[in-house]
Amino acid sequence: MCAQKVELRQLVKIFPAPGGTEVTAVDGMNLEIKPGEMVTFLGPSGCGKTTTLRMVAGFEMPTSGQILIGDEDVSTKAPNERDTAMVFQSYALFPHMTVEENVGYGLRFRRVSKKDARERVERIMELVGLQGLGKRAPGQLSGGQQQRVALARALVVEPQVLLFDEPLSNLDAKLREYMREEIRRVQQELGITAIYVTHDQSEAMALSDRIVVMNAGRIEQVGTPQEIYLRPATRFVADFIGKVNFLPCKVLEREGRAAVVEAFGRRITVHDAPDLRGEASLVVRPEAMFLQKEQGVPVKVVSRVYLGSAMQYRVELPNGDQVTVYESNPHLQDVFSAGEPAFLRLDSNAVHLLPA
Amino acid sequence: MAVAQPRNCRPLLGGSSWWQLRQDPILLLTVLLVSAALLLFIVYPLVRVFLLSIRPRDEFTLDVYRQVLDSWWLRQSFLNSLLLGTLTATFSTIIGFIFAFALNRTDMPMKGFFGQLVQLPMISPPFMFTLSVILLLGRNGIITKALGLRNLDIYGLNGLVLVQTISMFPIAFNTLNGVLQAINPDLEEGALDLGASRWAVFRSITLPLSFPGLASAWLLVFVNSLADFANPMVLGGTFDVLSVQAYLQFTGMFNAPRGTALAVMLLLPAMTAFLVQRYWVSRKSYVTVTGKPSSRRILKVSPWLRWTLFATCILITLVIFAFYGTVVAGAFVKTWGVNNTFTLEHWRYAWDVGLDSIKSTLTLAAIATPITGVFAMVVAFILVRKQFPGKKVLGFISMLAFAVPGTVVGIGYILAFNEPPLLLSGTALIIVLCFVFREMPVGIESGVASLMQIDKSIEEASTNLGASSGYTFAKITLPLIKPAFLSGLFFAFARSMTAVSAIIFLVSARWHHLTVLILSQTEIMRLGAASVLSLILIIIVLGAFALMRLAVGDTINRQPAK
C-alpha cells in the first residue's frame, strides 16, 4: 500500500435548486492532505463536507477546480476508475452476499488471483476483528459488526485514499467511542491516507491528525485538534467546537506575540494572539475559569447544574454579562449555590483573542 | 402521572389478543362483522364451486374431472392457459423492467410523461386493446390491408400475447418500480467505488437485488393472464383457454359441474402462483418497500444505453397511443376498413343500445365504490393496528380476490346466491357485493402501506386523551390516510367500471354492465359501436381519475408545511 497525498484546488460545486436557482455547496476549497494523514471534515449539516467527500470519490463532478490524488488529476474520472474506497453511513453492505463476498467484492475488479484474494480477505477480517463471521449474511450481524464489514470491504482493496461518510452515526454512544478508536488504530497501522466526514466534534478530535472546519461551503480553519480547540481562527469555529464564552474586551498593547487586554476591569495577557487593536472578544472555555471564595473578579452565581464529572455554573459578571464555568471534579462540600457571591479566576494561558 | 389504568395491564405472555378483544367491544364487533362478510362473500362461493365439481349429483365423485381430463380440447385449454400466462408474464416483466430501470436509473428525458403513461392501460377497459388489434390487424384491419398481409392471423396466441402484454406490463412496472426505488443507491455507489464497472454493478448488485421483484412481477402478471376472460373470449379464435371454456361450459352448454371443474383447474395454478409470490418470493426480498424513497441519486449510464432505453420506451408508448387512437378513429368511421368515411352513426346507435347500460353501470359502481373504500380502510386498520385471534387468516382471505379469477367468482356467486334466504341473482345487490369484495384488496393494500407509515403513538395520544377507538379511527386515522383512501376509492371505481369476467355471470336485463355490452358488440363485429362505448367508458374513468387527483392534491396542500 503506498499512501498518496490528496490535493483539492479551487474546488467548487454548484447544484441546481428547484425554481431555477443555484446552491453553492462547495465554494472554492483549497486543501492539501499529506500521505498517510487522517483528515476530518467537520461542520454543521449543509456545510459542504459530504459533497466534497463525494467529489473525491467521484460521485459528484466538480463544477470547477481540481482534485489530485498523488500527482494525478482525477477530477473527471469515474468512481470505479479512482483508487478510493468509501465507508458509507448506511454501510451499504450488499444484502445478497455473505460477509466474505462483501469484503472480497472490490478485489474482483483488481488483478488479484483467487487465492491471494482469499488470503487478503482473511487478513483484513482478522485486522478488524471479524474472524469466523465470513459465511454470515450482513443481516445476521449486529450494527457494530456491520460497521466492521464496511470498513474491511474498503480496506481490502488497499485504496490510495480511504473515505468515511459519517460511518458511526448509526451506532450507540458506547460503541461509537470504541469504533472510532478502532478506525484510528487500523488507519495508523496501515498508514493509509483518509478523509473522514462528521458533524460530531468529539469524533473529529479523537480521530484526526488535522481537522478541517467547514461552514457554508468554505473552510473556516484547518489545524490539529489542539489548534482548533485552543486557537480557533473564527467565532464560528470557537462556537462550533465545544462550549465557549465570548467576553468583550479592549486591546491595550502588544508585547511581541502576546496582547494585553482589559476585560471586566482587569488586565489580562493573551499569549500568541492575533494582531488586533481596540475592541475585541476574549474567547474563554468554561473549564479555563475557576470559582473561589476569595480573590478574583467578584461575581454572583445565577444557577448551577451537576453533571457528574463537572459542575456547570452560570455566573453574572459585574457588568451584567453572564458566563458559563465548569468546575471539574467538584467536591460537594465546597460548591456554590445559586444566589451566592463568588470570585472568578481566569487561566490566562487558556484564553484566546478574536475580533469583536 | 396518572395511575396506570387496568387496560394497560396486559398479561405478559399469550392471551393478549383475546384480552384486547374483550376489552374493546367495538373492535370485537368489527372483527366479527368483517369475518362474517369475508366468509360469506369470498370463501362460501368458492366452497360452492368446489362442492359442485366433486358432487355433481347427490354423491361425491371425481367423474367430472375424469371427463375433463379425458377430453383433449379441455386438456389443451389448460395447457394453453399456462402457455399464454407464461409468455405474457415473461414479456410483461421484461418491458416492465425496462421502463422501471429507465425511469429510476437514467436521466433520460420525458420520465414524468412515461410514468403517467404506463398507468393508462391499468384504467382502460380490459379488452380495449383487443378491439384495437382487430381494427389494426384483423381481417379488415388497416395494417393488414395496407401491407396486404393475407396470411396474418391475429386471432389466437400471438394476438393474445400482444394484447395482454400491453395491458399487463404496467402491473410488472409498478412492482419493479417500487423495488428499484427501494434499493439504496449507496449499494450501487459502493460497488462502483470499489472498482466495478457500470455493467458489473448492474450484474452483481442491481439485478440480483431486483430478482425477487422480477419473480414477483412475473407471478402477478401470470395470475392476471390466467384470469383474463374478455381478451381470449374475443381474440382467442381456436386457441381455447380455461377461463373462456369454464364460462362456455357453465352458461352456454348448461354443463354446470364441468364449468365448476374447469374453474377449479383455473384456480389451482392462479392460487399457487399467488401463494408463491406472497409467501415465498416476498420473503426472499432484500429490499423492504418502506414507501420512503431513498434519495434519488442517479448513477450516469452510458449515452448508448440511455438512448436505447429511451427508444424502447418511445416504441411502447407509440404502440399504446396507436391502440388508443385506433379506438377513437373507429368510433367515427362508417365501416372500418371498407368504407372509411366520417360518421356519427355509431354514436347514435351506441346511445340507443347503451344509455341504460351506462346509467346502470354508473349507478352500480357509484354505490359500490364508497362501500369498498370504507370497508377496505376498516380492514386495513384492524390488520395493522389491532391484535385479535385469527388475524393472519383474515388478512389472507381479504387478499384472496387477487388470486381468484373473476370467472371462478362469477360461477361461485351464481351457485351461492341463487336460493333463499340468499336469493340475490338478478339484483343490483349481487353485482355491488361482487364489486366490493373483488376490488377491496387494492384499497386494503394501500391502506396497510400508509398506516404502516403513521406512527402508532399518534393514535395512542388520541386514546390517551380520552377518545374511543371508533372516534380515533374517524377523526385521527382516516384523515391521515386520506390519500390512500381516495386512491383506493378511485381504483375501486375504475375497476368496477371496467370489470367483466365475474360480472358477465351476474348481469340481468334490469342491471346491465357496459363492458358486457361492449363485449357482445365486439363479438357481433359491431366494432364502431364497441369503439364508441369503450371511448365513453375511458372518458368516465379518466374523469374520475382527474377528480381523484384534484382531491388528493387538495389534501396534500392543506397539510402544514414542515
Record the cell numbers describing residue B119, joined without a space.
398507468
Judged on CB neighbours under 10 Å (0-12, 13-18, 19+), A202 is middle
Report pLDDT for B13.
Answer: 41
At B75-114, the pLDDT tens digits run 899 999 999 999 999 999 999 999 999 998 888 888 889 9
User: Which range is least confidently modeled, A142-151, B267-276, B335-344, B445-454?
Assistant: B335-344
Q: Are B20 and B386 in contact (CB under 8 A)?
A: yes
Averaged pLDDT of chain A: 90
The total number of structural domains that make up chain B: 1
Question: Which of A20-34, B333-347, B467-481 is the most confident on average?
Answer: A20-34
Helices (H) and strands (E) in chain B, counts: 28, 2
Distance CA(B83)–CA(B75), nearest Å, equals 13
At B516-529, the pLDDT tens digits run 998 888 888 888 88
Q: What percent of chain B has a predicted confidence (pLDDT) above 70?
A: 91
Distance CA(B160)–CA(B231), nearest Å, equals 7
Residue of A nearest to B187 (CA): A92
Edge-to-edge strand list for the sheet holding A64-69:
A22-33, A6-16, A64-69, A72-73
Rounded CA Rg of chain B: 25
Residue B544 has pLDDT above 70, yes or no: yes
Residue closest to B395 by CA, chosen among B404, B408, B386: B386
Residue B6 has pLDDT above 50, yes or no: no
User: Which range is least confidently modeled, A147-156, B31-40, B351-360?
Assistant: B351-360
Residue closest to A281 by CA, chosen among A314, A240, A242, A239: A239
* Residue A79 touches partner B, C-beta closer than 8 Å: yes
Longest dimension (CA), chain B: 87
Report pLDDT for B461.
Answer: 76
Q: Are A336 and A313 in contact (CB under 8 A)?
A: yes
HSE at residue A67, side-chain half, CA atoms within 13 A, is 24
Mean pLDDT value across residues A88-112: 89
CATH 3.40.50.300 maps onto chain A at 6-238
Residue closest to B201 by CA, chosen among A84, B209, A139: B209
Residue closest to A54 by CA, chosen among A29, A79, A23, A24: A79
At A202-237, the pLDDT tens digits run 999 999 999 999 999 999 999 999 999 989 999 999
At B245-263, the pLDDT tens digits run 889 888 877 788 888 889 9
Mean pLDDT value across residues B384-397: 86
Distance CA(B556)–CA(B562), nearest Å, equals 12
Averaged pLDDT of chain B: 84
At A267-290, the pLDDT tens digits run 888 888 888 888 999 999 999 998
Q: Rounded to 10 degrees, what is the CA torsion of A68, A71, A76, A80?
A: -90
Pairwise CB contact (< 8 Å): B194 & A105: yes
- Cell 369503439 belongs to which residue? B531
Could you give the ipTM of this predicted complex? 0.73
Q: Rounded to 10 degrees, what is the CA torsion of B248, B249, B250, B253?
A: 90
Report pLDDT for B2.
Answer: 38
Count CB neighbours of B560 within 10 A: 4
Pairwise CB contact (< 8 Å): B194 & A85: yes
HSE at residue A288, side-chain half, CA atoms within 13 A, is 19
Contacts of A72 (CB under 8 A, 6+ apart): none
A 141-160 residues inside an 8 A Cβ radius of B = 153-154, 157
HSE at residue B50, side-chain half, CA atoms within 13 A, is 8
Record the cell numbers describing residue B194, joined without a space.
470499489
Which residues from B are below 8 Å from A when comparing CB atoms?
184, 186-187, 189-198, 200-201, 204-205, 208-209, 286-287, 297
Report pLDDT for B453.
Answer: 82
Record the cell numbers describing residue B506, joined without a space.
351476474
Distance CA(A336)–CA(A353), nearest Å, equals 29
Q: Chain A contacts of B197, Cβ < 8 Å?
A: 80, 109
Is residue B359, in this structure, part of any structural domain at all?
no
Report pLDDT for B56.
Answer: 79
Give the structural domain span for B173: 72-125+156-306
* Residue A90 touches partner B, C-beta closer than 8 Å: yes
CATH 2.40.50.140 maps onto chain A at 243-355
Report pLDDT for B290.
Answer: 44
Residue B208: asked if its preceding bond is cis (omega within 30°), the reply is no
Distance CA(B42)–CA(B48), nearest Å, equals 11
Task: Using CB atoms, pick whichever of A58, A95, A106 lies closest to residue B194.
Answer: A106
Which segments of B184-228 does DSSP mark as H helices, in order?
A: 185-193, 198-201, 207-227
Distance CA(B32)–CA(B35), nearest Å, equals 5
Q: Report the 3 state secondary structure along A52-102.
A: HHHHHHCCCCCCEEEEEECCEECCCCCHHHCCEEEECCCCCCCCCCCHHHH
Task: Using CB atoms, pick whichever of B186, B195, B198 lies closest to residue A92.
Answer: B186
CATH number of A6-238: 3.40.50.300
Count CB neighbours of A299 within 10 A: 24
Banded model confidence at residue B287, pLDDT cuts 50, 70, 90: low
Mean pLDDT value across residues B420-447: 88
Residue A245 has pLDDT above 80, yes or no: yes
Q: B493: distance to nearest CA of chain A, Å?
A: 36
In degrees, to the nearest 5, what angle opens at C-alpha B226 toward C-alphas B225 and B229? 85
What CATH number is associated with residue B219? 1.10.3720.10
Q: What is the DSSP letter of B299?
A: P
Pairwise CB contact (< 8 Å): A80 & B195: yes
Distance CA(A100)–CA(A122), nearest Å, equals 8
Mutate to test the interface with B, among A56, A77, A103, A109 (most CBs of B within 10 A): A109
Q: Are B451 and B380 in contact (CB under 8 A)?
A: yes
Is residue B63, in this structure, part of any structural domain at all?
no
In degrees, to the nearest 5, what angle opens at C-alpha B407 toward C-alphas B401 and B410? 80
Task: Using CB atoms, pick whichever of B184, B193, B297 lies closest to residue A86.
Answer: B193
Count CB neighbours of A181 within 10 A: 11
Q: Are A347 and A290 in contact (CB under 8 A)?
A: yes
**The CATH classification of domain A243-355, taken from the options 3.90.1150.10, 1.10.10.2160, 3.30.260.10, 2.40.50.140:** 2.40.50.140
Is residue B104, in this structure, part of any structural domain at all?
yes
Contacts of A100 (CB under 8 A, 6+ apart): A121, A125, A134, A135
Backbone angles phi, psi at A295, to 5 degrees: 65, 125
Is residue B269, in this structure, part of any structural domain at all?
yes
At B342-377, the pLDDT tens digits run 888 888 888 888 888 899 999 999 999 999 999 998
Q: Are A342 and A292 in contact (CB under 8 A)?
A: yes
Count CB neighbours of A10 within 10 A: 11
Mean pLDDT value across residues B468-478: 80
Edge-to-edge strand list for the sheet holding A351-355:
A266-270, A258-263, A245-255, A278-284, A351-355
Banded model confidence at residue A308, pLDDT cuts 50, 70, 90: confident
Backbone angles phi, psi at A322, to 5 degrees: -110, 145
Name the pTM for this structure: 0.80
Report pLDDT for B292.
Answer: 42
